Amino acid sequence: MEALSKNFEGKEIGSDDANVDVFMKFYFEDYTPGDIVEVEDDDDSSKKKKVKKVKKKGPKRATTAFFYYVADIRAQVKEDNPGLPVSELSKIHGKMWKELPDDEKAPYVEKNAKDKERYTKEKAEMDAAAAEKADDGSESE
């Protein structure tokens, strides 16, 4: 804002001396959309730097038996304990799972086993495709 008041003082916005093109040239010089811009780093270590998370390619990991169980009981637990924060509800879920007999855990363990098979199959397919792509790349040279 300070640069605006110093460089464009007394000029009427919209006039030939202070139109959009003049402002764009003043602030962005010869930049045109699509140009690659290099960002100057202030090297200020006191500021937190944002870390860009890179999504790994590949199949979604297998869901655990516990998460299948929680998906089934979540609504009921929330209804029985209104107003509790998620952290407390999670503690209740964990306690209920720990106290659940093995025969009642069996359906969730079966779902987990099926999901593990799905993941293993998809992972093998992805690895085979990646190996094939690597082989194709080395043959073309």
> What is the pTM (predicted TM-score) of this model?
0.56
Q: Over the stretch 7-57, which tens digit does the pLDDT of each residue have?
A: 666 666 667 666 777 767 777 776 666 667 676 666 655 566 777 777 778
Sequence-distant contacts of 96-102: CB under 8 A, at least 24 apart:
96/69, 97/66, 97/69, 97/70, 100/69
- CATH number of the domain that residue 108 is part of: 1.10.30.10
Q: Over the stretch 70-87, which tens digit does the pLDDT of each residue have?
A: 999 999 999 999 999 999
Are residues 27 and 92 both part of a single domain? Answer: no
Where in the sequence is the domain holding 18, given as residue range(s)?
1-34
Are residues 133 and 79 both part of a single domain? Answer: yes
